[in-house]
Amino acid sequence: MRVVFLTHNYPRHAGDVAGAFLHPLAVALVGQGHSVSVIAPSEHGQGGDQAMDGVRIKRVRYASPSRERYAYTGAMQSAVRSPGGLAALYGLWRAMRRGVRDVAGDPKETVVHAHWWIPAGLAAPPELPMVLTLHGTDGALLERSGLARSLARPVLRRSAVVTTVSTALARTASRTAGLELAAIRVQPMPVVTRGWDWSRGGGGCVVIARLTSQKRVHLVLEAIAALRAGGRDLACTIIGDGPERATLEHLARALQVAELVHFAGELPFPAVLGQLMRADVSALPARGEGFGLAAVEALMAGVPMVACTDGGGLLDAVPQDGAGRIVPPEAGAIAAALRELLDDPAARDSARRTGEAWRAGLAPEAVAARFAGWYAEAVHA
């Protein structure tokens, strides 16, 4: 089967984090005998064709080099706030649709897999069968904007198969587009775990998050302070960067826990994995996550996990007991959950069992086989 990935975010080189979770799926599909092409935007005029691990990638030009700056950087939503940005998005829509038509074959043997309903779902040519995946940010847009809902409904309804990376996103798609919840497939993107070990512990708590208000990392700092007030010091490493970093560093000093908290900034994934190998526990108190890959990665390293009741996709990832705790978004509740997991000798064994299940379920070959079945369903619909 010929599969065309249509996306505004795909790795530009080996080790690139932009859309990195899409590449293992594409590679696994190639390994199972499918032909996979990727249509993705150019960046600053750097268009053209390339190949990575057997996957053909076509970077389409959509604006002048100075205007090709909205993909790969998380700036898609800001583009709608200026005439120049809107013009660039319109150019992106046209270029992505043209790119798909350039590489597509017989509609009876070709399926478009659009990642994110905007812009990819909007740009998918209507004459080709489409599988559409919601990843998170596009689902959040449906919750916030009536205009987004009016644009998205026809895209979701004409998709032969709609998938989401979490149950919470499936509910959003069902509620905002009028789809039957049972018809939406929930499938996170694959994770390559070959060569992973299990955490040895000894390094305290690890938080992996972009430092934005949505991630609510301040609750972890307040929980560390609450544990200290109760006579227990817990070291904490915060991996990630973002607009809230300076505020969080100031808060750590104000709470008098700065010597316990290390802001590591953004790290390449091997370094992130190294931190997980030393972690005793992890926490992610984010609200409304699309999936919560950081939580799954912690569990796949055998690290017990704390999340919050309004965590969205995190509720698919983190168990209520054993390997994890789901608590209200309050510092005291998070502190109590961290203490429970640290004092429970069975928590790490449970985390390892949960992690083994996630490793099997998110193996690229297993995820690719599921999507191949949905592609066939879309072609025959």
CA 110 to each of CA 31, 113, 286, 376, 377: distance values in angstroms, whole numbers, following the listed order = 17, 10, 38, 9, 12
Alpha-carbon distance 3 to 96, whole Å?
15
Looking at residue 82, its pLDDT comes to 66
Looking at residue 64, its pLDDT comes to 83
Instruction: Provide the 3-class DSSP secondary structure of residue 181.
Output: helix
Alpha-carbon distance 91 to 89, whole Å?
5
Looking at residue 147, its pLDDT comes to 87
Looking at residue 80, its pLDDT comes to 58
Alpha-carbon distance 229 to 222, whole Å?
10
Domain 205-361 superfamily per CATH:
Glycogen Phosphorylase B; (3.40.50.2000)
Looking at residue 65, its pLDDT comes to 86
- For the chain, what are the domain ranges? 2-190+363-380, 205-361
CATH number for 2-190+363-380 (one of 3.30.413.10, 1.10.10.10, 3.40.50.2000, 3.40.50.2300): it is: 3.40.50.2000
Q: What single-letter DSSP state applies at residue 304? A: -
Label residue 72 left, alpha or beta by phi (over 0 means left) and psi (-120 to 50 means alpha): left
Looking at residue 71, its pLDDT comes to 79
| pLDDT tens sequence for the chain (381 residues) | 999 999 999 999 888 888 899 999 999 999 999 999 999 999 888 888 999 999 999 999 988 888 777 777 766 666 656 676 677 788 899 999 999 999 998 878 899 999 999 999 999 999 999 999 999 989 988 988 888 899 999 999 999 999 999 999 999 999 998 999 999 999 999 999 988 999 999 999 999 999 999 999 999 999 999 999 999 999 999 999 999 999 999 999 999 999 999 999 999 889 999 999 999 999 999 999 999 999 999 999 999 999 999 999 999 999 999 999 999 999 999 999 999 999 998 999 999 999 999 999 999 999 999 999 999 999 998
DSSP-assigned letters across all residues of 120-166: IIHHS-TTS-EEEEE-SHHHHHHHH-HHHHHHHHHHHHH-SEEEESS
Tell me whether domains 2-190+363-380 and 205-361 share a fold.
yes
Looking at residue 74, its pLDDT comes to 67
CA 39 to each of CA 26, 120, 311, 324: distance values in angstroms, whole numbers, following the listed order = 12, 9, 32, 39
